[in-house]
Amino acid sequence: MKLAKFLAGLTFIAVSASSQATLVNGGFESGLSGWTTSGLTCSGVGGSFSTATGGCFGMDSDPGAHSGSNALYLGTAAGGGIVSQSVATNSGATYHITLWLANGAYNGTPTPNSLVITFDGASLLSLSNAPAQAYTFYEFDVVASGSSAALVMTNKQTPSFWVLDDITITEVPEPSTLALSALAVLGLAGAARRKTA
């Protein structure tokens, strides 16, 4: 029983250390706190495009926030608007990035537009003249090359807005951590079986 408790404790420590989310304010509930911006126009954080951007342009069907109260609205008409955040990483570790993305139209027109998202220099998503879309879930895995990595989103949306929400970055546990977890579970099951026998 002591061995099972010890293994369970080791597993908890290992999984907790390796699976912590590293991104700050990925749901934009604190505005742009934690994020760096440059070249943005008609962009901001809010529950609707009008509150986020002061009424720039328009949106035929505003999705609002995917969860919570706020989302990030990107409507840089000329292009080159950037929102980014650097996070601490472990070199060689795999990071799982998830996000929800919608693309708006105004008077039925969603183009011209472009959106490029990178992490640690690796391209995650590159859209150009994309059609309007409701919130869509995207996920990616990237191996970090150093002790920090930047998530960079570069946008152009001339008639309307890109809308992003619920961005997460989580380190994927190594196979050895998963094996340790399995060993702990087996140990606990064995200990429980002996106790009931």
Question: Based on the domain organization, do 80 and 163 belong to the same domain?
Answer: yes
pLDDT computed for residue 175 by the predictor: 80
Same domain, 40 and 81: yes
Q: Which of 31, 129, 146, 134 is nearest to 83 (CA)?
A: 31
193 and 96 within one domain = no
Q: What is the pLDDT of residues 97-142, one digit of tens each?
A: 999 999 999 999 999 999 999 999 999 999 999 999 999 999 999 9
The structure tokens listed for 193 are 């079986």
Q: Which pLDDT value is given to residue 174? A: 85
Structural tokens at position 167: 């961005």
- 5 lies in the same domain as 71: no
Do 13 and 45 lie in a common domain? no
Q: Domain check: are 96 and 47 in the same one?
A: yes
Residue 121: count other Cβ atoms within 10 Å of its Cβ. Answer: 10
Residues 197 and 162 in one domain: no
The count of domains in the chain is 2
Answer yes or no: do 103 and 93 share one domain. Answer: yes
Cα distance between residue 136 and residue 102, in whole Å: 6
pLDDT on residue 179: 47
Q: What per-residue confidence (pLDDT) applies to 12?
A: 44
Which domain covers residue 194, as residue numbers?
A: 1-19+173-197
